[in-house]
Amino acid sequence: MYRKTVYRKTAKLFVIAAPSGAGKTTLVKALTARRPELRFSISYTTRRKRRNEVHGVDYLFVDVDEFRRLKERGALLESAEVFDNLYGTSRTQVQAHLDAGHPVILEIDWQGAAQVREAMPECVSVFVLPPSVEELEHRLRSRRTDTDAVIERRLKDALSDMSHWDEFDHVIVNDRLEQAVADLESVLAGTGTSSAVSNPEVREAVAQILARPGER
Ligand code: 5GP
């Protein structure tokens, strides 16, 4: 009972966004292992289900008409088009987790993050960056499943996504996983001043990451 009261007081909404190749999924998985009280919202998407994915676990897979209906009746806290598919967060799911006293993590893109910040200004938003553009390219290329054209597009999209880092409360550089998880845990605990976007050291580190090789 007492424990539940404590959760209720600290329940919060966290938004995590990252370009593909930043290693967000690995980071969030490692975090969940250490913080079992966290809850994830299962998004709606019109994207086709991949072979290893399960409806209701990875996503709620819906067609475009169903997605539009959900949006029209206000069921989505945010929604966005990402890589030609529609994605959206269920308002009732998020609210139910928060009401039950659990911190909630939304793994969404920067456009969705902007909408959540608008709708729920008390949320804490985090942008995950790769250690360098070269490393990002390397990570994207080592995914053997993609064609060169897909990789080029993902790289271009990733660079454009990364230009939105400044809109977030925190930036975490996913260089060493252990450190990145620790940084993320600090943000969840409300003590993550070293990753705050307002921190000049963070701004300098981001400038280095985003600089083209010739500018460094
Ligand atoms: P994937 O299709 O590879 O699982 O995800 C592609 C992108 O869609 C990722 O950047 C992911 O963060 C984003 N995404 C997943 N769910 C949502 C959502 O509910 N809303 C928004 N805005 N983006 C999402």
pLDDT tens digits along 123-159: 999 999 999 999 999 988 887 777 889 889 889 999 9
Q: Looking at residue 163, which CATH number applies to its domain?
A: 3.40.50.300
Domains of the chain: total: 1
Q: Per the domain annotation, does 148 fall within a domain?
A: yes
**Mutate-to-test residue for ligand 1 from 14, 27, 43, highest number of ligand atoms within 8 A of CB:** 43
Ligand 1 centroid to Cα of residue 113, in Å, is 11
**Span 158-164, average pLDDT:** 95
Asked if the structure places residue 122 within a domain, the reply is yes
Q: Which of 126, 39, 124, 118 is nearest to 77 (CA)?
A: 118
Residue 47 CA, closest ligand 1 atom number: 2
pTM of the model: 0.91
Res. 199 pLDDT band, cuts 50 70 90: very high
- Return the ligand 1 atom nearest residue 58 CA: 4
**Is residue 91 one of the residues assigned to a domain?**
no
Amino acid in the structure at residue 190 = G
Q: For residue 32, is it within any domain?
A: yes
* 18 located within any domain: yes
Instruction: Residue 143: give the domain boundaries.
Output: 13-41+102-215
CA–CA separation, 216 and 130 (whole Å): 16
Tell me phi and psi for residue 27, to 5 degrees: -60, -45
- Whether 85 is in a domain gets the answer no
With the most atoms of ligand 1 within 8 angstroms of its CB, the residue from 26, 84, 108, 123 to mutate is: 108
Task: Examine residue 77 and state whether it is found in any structural domain, yes or no.
Answer: no
Among 29, 85, 87, 160, name the best residue to mutate to test ligand 1's pocket (greatest count of ligand atoms within 8 A of Cβ): 87
Q: Does residue 48 belong to any structural domain of this protein?
A: no
